[in-house]
Chain A
Amino acid sequence: MIKLIQIELYKIFRKPRTYIGFGAIAFIVIVVNLGFLFEGEQLLGFLIESLKDKFLLSGNLINAYTMAFVILNSLWIHLPILISITAGDMISGEANNGTFRLLLTRPISRSKLLAAKFISAWVYTVLLLLFMISFSLILGYLIFGVGDLIVIKSTISILSADDTLWRFGYATIYGILSMTTVTSLSFLLSSLSENSIGPIVGTFAIIVGLTIVSTLGYALIGPAIPYLFTTYLPSWDLFFTMELNTAKLTHAIYVNLAYTIAFITFTFYYFKNKDILS
């Protein structure tokens, strides 16, 4: 099994398209950091305008933590696309290239091959997420240093610099879980498709579609919203409040796990019985 995973990882990292994700993240992180470097005072001033009357704000408010927090906010938008470029290609790419015939006529079980492919796609997802968070923190630190983090949501949380790094650690772990759900969705779509475009577009369409419906169609699907995995894609930010909402976090974790298990189970069942016609 380890050998199979090594082979799949080797194939992933020999493909130029694999590096699109890392390149795109590096680009976003650099642009956001430069944006704050040159326009930071105006950007932050706009955000904290209403607070100035009641709070005395001083110190380094634009810092590595602010940068990483801002960049994490885009997690649910661009990371699923970048993940699906690789995860969505894991099965359909082999079908499209005709290499499935080569692999599946070897003395190896379909389930093992599929497991190796999923684990490899997951490793890619984890690396992508770790790269995004670590690069945001490191570049932010080099440019701005560290400082307190102000989080403005329905409540205002001012998190001291010493009380912030662990939150990024847990947010990363949660991010891995929610992006694993996205990976498994993309993997499922990949097993249903014979080309890579379908799973990429499909993953994005499902995530954006469900998010829009959740936002606009509350009257229509209101009771289902707490059970949609898309509802919890941005839930990493629950770690950035003074008091952790453990009930909501637990629910988010269960929903993500349930979807991940369901997507993977269906993929294995479908693929094990699939006629390979490509």
Chain B
Amino acid sequence: MPRKNDDKRYYLKQTKTYINLKKEVFLEFDHVSKQYNDFLAVDDLSFKVYEGDIFGFLGPNGAGKSTSIRMTLSLIKPTSGKITLLGKNIVNEREETLAQVGALIEKPDFYPYLTAQKNLEILGKISQVQKLSVKIDEVLDLVGLTSRRNSKVKTFSQGMKQRLGIAQTLLHDPKLIILDEPANGLDPQGQVDMRELIVRINKERGITVIISSHILNEVEQICNRMVIINKGKSMVEGNVSELLTGSRMKVSYVTDDNKRTLDLLTNSEFKNNINGIEKEKLTLLIEHESIPKLNDFLSNEGVKVYSIEPIRSLEEYFITMTK
């Protein structure tokens, strides 16, 4: 059910989506650290998630993502710093803040000896959800598990468990959902379905989403903002498209004669952009706005360009930032 309008969010009936005119900070990490004995898992981490964001939380294994997410959900206490959710301190006002959050952390684990319906009933009762049976019908329908509601969870595939995991995050009408590796263990179609589901939840229900993921393509496709962390520190935070277009990207060219093209480029103003030849494709590191100029140059030299493919994606950016 769409949420009621408030003074900052507007519901568009035609498109059945929400727009945010004035964004509010939903979640803020303010110089947060977590120390385990002599290991510093999170080091002075600061970032902000705004209302309506689909926020990507990226980092290599051991970067401190899971620790940060667990601190957001008060599963782990920060050693120092402050985490606020909707202006409330997560440590001091734990229950009030958790009432606004739905989370799927790592694997979607449920009570395997109980049915999907019973699992949701238990979680709904703990969250004191009103009209629980109606709500369960609604979330099961949303994730496409209505027909399996009376099956025991131990009979579910990984994809079904993942969808049930999403369903439980929505039971209590949260304002923010946190999904830790939501596409883990899903086949390609399952990953596409999961992406679509997340976007629908964000657009149709106006729920802010934080995604921690290793599948960078996924983040690139659905997130509007992101933070990359490494060794517990924030490397970069900002708008995904701005971060990706604001630096040099890797592009591969397939021409009628790659060797001749390479010679031409070597003796041109683009010589510093040459990256090499990979799998019979000529690769260049070039600014986004310089590509038309390069195309004009090759065209004037009589080179036939069969394809231009941007390789530099979030993966490249991620590796650059976390090296």
Contacts and interface: CB of A to CB of B under 8 A. Distances in A.
Q: Do A and B bind each other?
A: yes
Interface of A: 3-4, 7, 10-11, 14-16, 97-99, 101-109, 273, 275-277
Given A7-B122, A15-B113, A101-B106, A109 B75 contact: no
Contact of A14 (B70, B94, B114, B125): B114
Interface in B92-121: 94-96, 98-99, 101, 103, 105-107, 109-114
Given A3-B125, A107-B99, A101 B109 contact: yes
Given A98-B106, A101-B106, A106-B126, A275 B101 contact: no
9 contacts: A14-B111, A99-B109, A102-B109, A104-B73, A105-B101, A107-B172, A108-B126, A273-B77, A277-B76
A249 B197 CA distance: 64
Contacts of A15: 113
The B interface, classified by DSSP as helix, strand, loop or mixed, is loop
Contacts of B73: 104-105
A108 B125 CA distance: 11
Contacts of B111: 11, 14, 97, 99
B68 interface: no
B123 interface: yes
Contact of A109 (B77, B95, B109, B114): B95
A107 B127 contact: yes
B84 interface: no
B75 A107 contact: no
A275 B109 contact: no
A105 B95 CA distance: 9
B208 interface: no
The A interface, classified by DSSP as helix, strand, loop or mixed, is loop
Given A7-B122, A101-B75, A106 B98 contact: yes
Q: Give the one of A97, A102, A108 with max B CB within 10 A.
A: A102
A196 to B, nearest CB: 14
Given A7-B122, A102-B123, A108-B126, A14 B113 contact: yes
Contacts of A105: 73, 75, 98, 101, 103, 105
Nearest to A7: B122
A99 B76 contact: no
Interface string B241-282: 000000000000000000000000000000000000000000
Nearest to A11: B111
B156 to A, nearest CB: 14
Interface residues of B, number: 30
A245 to B, nearest CB: 47
B212 interface: no
A12 to B, nearest CB: 11
B77 A275 contact: yes
Contacts of B168: 102
Closest 9 CB pairs of A and B: A98-B109, A107-B99, A276-B75, A107-B98, A275-B76, A107-B95, A101-B105, A105-B103, A106-B126
Interface string B129-168: 0000000000000000000000000000000000000001
A7 B122 CA distance: 7
B76 A276 contact: yes
Contacts of B94: 107, 109
A24 to B, nearest CB: 20
A276 B126 contact: no
A129 B71 CA distance: 42
A276 B75 CA distance: 5
A270 to B, nearest CB: 13
Given A101-B105, A102-B168, A106-B127, A11 B122 contact: yes
B123 A104 contact: no
A105 B70 CA distance: 9
Q: Give the one of B73, B77, B109, B113 with max A CB within 10 A.
A: B109
A4 B158 CA distance: 28
Nearest to A10: B122
Nearest to A3: B125
B70 to A, nearest CB: 7
Nearest to A108: B126
B109 to A, nearest CB: 3
Nearest to A16: B113
